[in-house]
Amino acid sequence: MRGVLGKSRKMICSLLSQAPVSPAYYYRSSPSIYKPKPSNRFSWGFLAPIPSPAIRVFCSKPGEVGGLMASSVQNQGSISYLTQREAAEVDETLMGPLGFSVDQLMELAGLSVATSIAEVYKPSEYNRILAICGPGNNGGDGLVAARHLYHFGYKPFVCYPKRTQKPLYSGLVTQLESLSIPFLSVDELPMDLSKDFDILVDAMFGFSFHGAPRPPFDDLIKKLINLHYYEQAQRKSPVIVSVDIPSGWHVEEGDVGGDGIKPDMLVSLTAPKLCAKKFSGPHHFLGGRFVPPAIAEKYKLQLPQYPGMSMCVRIGKPPQIDISALRENYISPEFLEEQVEADPLDQFRKWFDDAMAANLKEPNAMALSTTGKDGKPSSRMVLLKGVDKDGFVWFTNYESQKARQLSENPHAALLFYWDGLNRQVRVEGSVEKVSDEESEQYFHSRPRGSQLGAIVSKQSTVVPGRHVLHQQYKELEEKYSKESLIPKPKYWGGYRLKPERFEFWQGQPSRLHDRLEYSPQETDGKRVWKIVRLAP
């Protein structure tokens, strides 16, 4: 036993060091200023390899969008598929020499199913889920997924007609019961599932399925097939998510007669089985992030890289994007005149603290909009580096495009967008350079690399290639290798915007957002901020 483990550990290490990094692809979203005709559906053609994908996935049906979780898209051609026998062998190896227990694998598999669903179907629009669970481990995955989906904010129901008395399964049932998740018998299910559920999780059979489905699963499978006809009759029907194998399909041949279920999503576990090649629905995911390199090597598995910390990864063709259907319904607490600070700077600090507390990434990133003498506006992101009664400060290159525009027209607008909080803040005012001292002080507080970078970059001018920047950077690194202080170039420094108008925006349902505007007023020779509500 020790020998096997020792050997596999060594093998794992050596495989890890040689493991080719499979390319991960993502497709980009962009601000949706384009308003297509209702029928205008098109797919995003742009797929770019990135080292660590972290993106949203957009899908074809209204309400289907990726959450904030990362996902990536992988070319179907480069993925390998398992036969039924190989799938069973992998199972045995994982739970034999590799030391996994069935509970562990099932927990991770069920979690993968739940996270795949959450990536595509938002709980606000696809809330009622029926998990139909079969007698084997595929059914167990369905029970685990139902529990996670409950915690993700969905309302799951479970149909589990052929139970096993094994402690693992009775434990899963108890866990669901303790969450008051209803169990429905086959008789309690409506004839037509389309009215009561938004998502049907097909966890009836996995890779050990053989022959023709026996009762009561034959009828349950028919219920799922019938949904297809309701849809053809223009009725809204729930989406079907199949766990590992679309139930009733041959594990290798797929939907042989062509009259089987047609899932919208397939979550392959460990590695796709051969039948997955026949899956033509819009969402194919892989889950079960536990495959050790030793197994991948043995079965020559080519699997996509899981992005970041994600429990699932999209495989197969990217779905078509209907940009016109992408929308969020903002749900936030009310933002009322009585609650706001009299001084907009205090209000800004309050919201900034909220953004920090919510762990938002770079809450100090703001869009800066400027116009030159030609009156043509341009925007770009900069980082807020200080804010007080004198204004909002950022640093940049004094010979950049924005600097040229600011010299021609010293007025600008700043925009903060705090996605996770449904908030934006607009600040407008006049701009001036900060003192040289202030720029000096800030410049030397930056990492050495960024200081050198600022010297190298003649910001907004044309560069013949990346190598030129790197070459200059290297030369500077050598030049200043023995110096503790890197001199700030004259062409780098800060700007300060003195606010003349603020607007605090908080998203609300039905687009009836809160907008409170602050503008300065003279009252009895004193400057005070007047607050008004603007129509959304």
Ligand X SMILES: NC(=O)C1=CN([C@@H]2O[C@H](COP(=O)(O)OP(=O)(O)OC[C@H]3O[C@@H](n4cnc5c(N)ncnc54)[C@H](OP(=O)(O)O)[C@@H]3O)[C@@H](O)[C@H]2O)[C@@H](O)CC1
450 makes contact, choosing from ligand FMN, K ion, ligand PLP, none, with CB < 5 to 8 Å by partner type, with ligand PLP
Of residues 227 through 246, those in contact with ligand X by CB under 6 A are 243-245
250 makes contact, choosing from ligand X, K ion, ligand FMN, none, with CB < 5 to 8 Å by partner type, with none
Tokens of 44: 């995003």
Count CB atoms within 10 A of the CB of residue 484: 7
Choose between 83 and 401: whose C-beta lies nearer to ligand FMN: 401
* 210 annotated as a binding-site residue: yes
Catalytic residue, from 9, 28, 235, 511: name it.
511
8 Å CB contact between 162 and 135 = yes
Helix axes 102-120, 84-95, angle to 10 degrees: 120
CB of 187 to ligand FMN, least distance (A): 58
Choose between 157 and 205: whose C-beta lies nearer to ligand X: 205
151 makes contact, choosing from ligand PLP, ligand FMN, ligand X, none, with CB < 5 to 8 Å by partner type, with none
- The Cα–Cα gap between 515 and 517 comes to 6
Q: What separation, in Å, do the N-terminal and C-terminal C-alpha atoms of the chain show?
A: 69
From the number of C-beta atoms within 10 Å of its C-beta (0-12, 13-18, 19+), residue 152 rates as middle
Q: How far is CA 355 from the centre of its chain?
A: 19
Choose between 200 and 403: whose C-beta lies nearer to K ion: 200
* 212 annotated as a binding-site residue: yes
Near ligand PLP by CB under 6 A: residue from 179, 383, 512, 528: 383
Choose between 220 and 345: whose C-beta lies nearer to ligand X: 220
424 makes contact, choosing from ligand PLP, ligand FMN, ligand X, none, with CB < 5 to 8 Å by partner type, with none
Does residue 216 have a cis peptide bond before it, meaning omega lies within 30 degrees of 0? yes
User: How many residues form the binding site for ligand PLP (CB under 6 A)?
Assistant: 4
Contacts of 242 (CB under 8 A, 6+ apart): 202, 261, 263, 265, 266, 267
CB of 471 to ligand X, least distance (A): 51
525 DSSP 8-state letter: T
- The Cα–Cα gap between 344 and 502 comes to 7
- The Cα–Cα gap between 270 and 288 comes to 5
* 259 annotated as a binding-site residue: no
Alpha-carbon dihedral 172, 173, 179, 181, rounded to 10 degrees: 130
* 207 annotated as a binding-site residue: yes
Q: Establish if 247 lies at the interface with K ion (CB under 5 A).
A: yes
507 DSSP 8-state letter: -
Q: Establish if 210 lies at the interface with ligand X (CB under 6 A).
A: yes
Choose between 158 and 245: whose C-beta lies nearer to ligand X: 245
Q: Can 511 be counted among the known catalytic residues?
A: yes
8 Å CB contact between 215 and 187 = no
337 DSSP 8-state letter: G
CB of 20 to ligand X, least distance (A): 23
CB of 271 to ligand X, least distance (A): 9
8 Å CB contact between 111 and 140 = no
402 makes contact, choosing from ligand FMN, K ion, ligand X, none, with CB < 5 to 8 Å by partner type, with ligand FMN
User: What mask, x for binding ligand FMN by CB under 6 A, covers residues 382 to 401?
Assistant: xx----------xxxx--xx
8 Å CB contact between 8 and 98 = yes
Residue 388: what residue type? D
Residue 241: what residue type? V
210 makes contact, choosing from K ion, ligand FMN, ligand X, none, with CB < 5 to 8 Å by partner type, with ligand X
353: left (phi over 0), alpha (psi -120 to 50) or beta: alpha
Choose between 147 and 426: whose C-beta lies nearer to ligand X: 147
Near ligand PLP by CB under 6 A: residue from 395, 398, 495, 502: 395
Q: Establish if 443 lies at the interface with ligand PLP (CB under 6 A).
A: no
8 Å CB contact between 144 and 131 = no
Q: Establish if 380 lies at the interface with ligand PLP (CB under 6 A).
A: no
Tokens of 171: 């434990």
Choose between 63 and 453: whose C-beta lies nearer to ligand PLP: 453
Contact window for K ion (CB under 5 A) among 133-141, 221-229, 270-278, 284-292 = 133-141
Contact window for K ion (CB under 5 A) among 243-251, 410-418, 431-439, 509-517 = 243-251
Chain length of the chain: 536
Catalogue the active-site residues: 511
Q: Which residues bind ligand PLP (CB under 6 A)?
A: 383, 395, 446, 450
Residues binding K ion (CB under 5 A): 138, 202, 242-243, 245, 247
- Known binding residues for K(+) are 138, 202, 247
- Judged by the rule CB under 6 A, the positions of this chain that interact with ligand X are 90-91, 94, 105-106, 109, 134-138, 140-141, 205-214, 217, 243-245, 269-270, 288
